[in-house]
Amino acid sequence: WKQHGAKTDSERLDSIAVEQMQGGTRRKHPYNAFLAKVILNLEGLLPPDASEDQILSLLSKFPRNNFAVVDDLQKAIGAAVYPIGCILNHSCRPNCILTYDGTRQIIRTVKSVTKGEELCHSYVDLITTRDERREQLMTTYGFACSCERCEEEKPNSESSGAKMDLRKVQRLEDFPSEVQDRLKIAYELHQKALGENDLSLERSLVQSILEIRKEILDPYNLELHQTICWAMSLALLDNDIQFARNMCRDIVQTLEAVLKPGMPMHPLLSTQLFTLAELETANGNRNEAKRVISECIKYVRITHGEESQLYNKAMLFLLSLN
């Protein structure tokens, strides 16, 4: 963290430690207290002299050191602690990514790395704004990130990287009043769509939200990106393959704009390109599908490795198009 200019919130971490020593963990996390009692009573699992406080201490450390174990499509299938992986520090523009072969963690470099250069991966979702990343890092890990990307994306930064932030205007009140009214309508429609059980009605609501946000927000705005992902999912459920393909193209464009400037290879892009190739094929665009899956293979070779299931699927997909 220090090498990236990060500042640890020592007072906050000290207060957490004091709370734990004073039994605050039991008070604030009753599930941990219950789990500690269960673990303590499992015969043969722990040394005979293990105490409930020691177990509570370990349970409190787990969220700061665990990893989401994901499959080839970046879907979380579990959580685990990996001692070597825990050594890696954080960067919002990392030179490493983590993938998994079953429960085996694999650390992969996605950039050329010079001798002596620190290996870093991202502790948080990179498809988020600077403020959201920093807030999550402070809440979970207790430090304020000042990595290269965070510095570039500072408000009023002169760096070209600031253009790639996912939300140019952070607060609703920063918009003109007439625009605020339209965004409020989009928010109300959003809340209504969340509670809608009818697919056609939900699609209609999301389409209205999408039209408003596309007209007003920056193309790489996070809320717009999430709305597009939502619209694509609903289109797939409704078997509207052409619309889903169009939404997937927008998603790929956003991921490329946000990730490529500092991290040209990322598993999110790999998996989304694979999905886009499938949708292009379903729409009868075999030549475009071939181009996309070829691009996907370049990514997957780096992000997942040639031994991965996704790489094998992509290669078979390409062969089927030839």
**Token pair recorded at residue 297:** 């293979």
Provide the CATH topology of domain 31-38+49-124: Beta-clip-like (2.170.270)
Under 8 Å between Cβ of 307 and 104: no
Give, as one character, the DSSP assignment of residue 5.
T
Q: Residue ranges per domain, the chain?
A: 31-38+49-124, 166-254, 265-321
pLDDT, tens digit only, all 322 positions of the chain: 334 444 444 444 334 333 433 443 334 456 778 888 888 888 777 888 888 888 888 887 777 788 889 888 778 888 888 989 989 999 999 999 998 888 899 999 988 899 999 999 999 888 888 888 999 999 888 889 999 888 888 876 554 444 444 545 446 677 778 888 898 999 999 999 999 999 999 999 999 999 999 998 888 888 899 999 999 999 999 999 999 999 999 999 999 888 877 676 888 899 999 999 999 999 999 999 999 999 999 999 999 989 888 999 999 999 999 8
194's CB contacts (< 8 A; 6+ apart) are none
Under 8 Å between Cβ of 35 and 69: no
Burial 122-138 (b: 16+ CB within 10 A, else e): bbbebbbbbebbbeebb
Question: At what angle are helices 52-65 and 130-141 packed, to 10 degrees?
Answer: 160
Give the residue carrying structure tokens 């177990």: 55
* Distance from chain centroid for Cα 19: 30
Amino acid identity, residue 309?
A: Q
Vertex 183, ends 179 and 185: CA angle to 5°?
A: 120
The per-residue pLDDT for 178 is 81
The per-residue pLDDT for 171 is 62
